[in-house]
């Protein structure tokens, strides 16, 4: 990802984990800080300059875990992780809306589209 950001002429500026966003965790009901993976200022095809907040996550972490017949510790852990991620992303979306930025989550589906992983 960093190589892409460095070598793309339409990326005007970018940083990794530079921005902290406060969010309320639903797990412990306390305030925490969320550091999105990237922030990038991009020149779009129309010439407009937009700021993107980018989170990179495995696809399975972007969806709630599937409920099985028996709830296991793994299910509980995955559910807590998903709930925390949702709280982080809600805070990120609010920040983006307030600043006319765009929040996006990239998974292996977008990053490796058309490429086979070995």
117 within domain boundaries: no
C-alpha span between 86 and 108 (Å, rounded): 19
Instruction: Report the DSSP pairing between strands 102-106 and 49-56.
Output: parallel
Beta bridge partners of 50: 42
pLDDT band at 114 (very low <50, low <70, confident <90, very high): low
Residue 102 forms part of a structural domain: yes
Is 81 part of a structural domain of the chain? yes
Residue 13: what pLDDT? 95
**Residues constituting the chain:** 118
| Region 74-96 average pLDDT | 95
Residue 53 resides in a domain? yes
Q: How many CB atoms lie within 10 A of CB 89?
A: 20
What local confidence, expressed as pLDDT, does residue 88 receive? 98
pTM for the full predicted model: 0.84
Contact 50, 104 (CB under 8 A): no
**pLDDT tens, 37-66?**
999 999 999 999 999 999 999 998 899 888
* Residue 118, domain member (yes or no): no
- To which residue do tokens 């995955």 refer? 78
Q: In the chain, how many domains are there?
A: 1
pLDDT of amino acid 84: 97
Residue 67 has pLDDT above 70, yes or no: yes
- Distance from C-alpha of 52 to C-alpha of 41, rounded to nearest angstrom: 6
| The pLDDT value given to residue 115 | 54
Of the candidates 6, 96, 12, which has an alpha carbon nearest to the alpha carbon of residue 54? 96
What letter would DSSP give residue 35?
Answer: -
């Amino acid at each position: 990802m960093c190589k892409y950001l460095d070598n793309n002429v339409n990326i005007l500026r970018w940083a990794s984990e530079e921005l902290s966003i406060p969010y309320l965790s639903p797990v412990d009901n306390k305030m925490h800080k969320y550091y999105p993976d990237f922030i990038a200022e991009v020149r779009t095809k129309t010439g407009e300059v937009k700021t993107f907040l980018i989170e990179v996550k495995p696809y399975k972490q972007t969806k709630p875990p599937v409920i099985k017949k028996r709830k296991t510790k793994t299910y509980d852990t995955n559910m807590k992780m998903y709930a925390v991620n949702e709280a982080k992303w809600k805070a990120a979306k609010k920040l983006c809306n307030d600043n006319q930025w765009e929040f996006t989550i990239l998974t292996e589906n977008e990053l490796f589209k058309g490429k086979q992983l070995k």
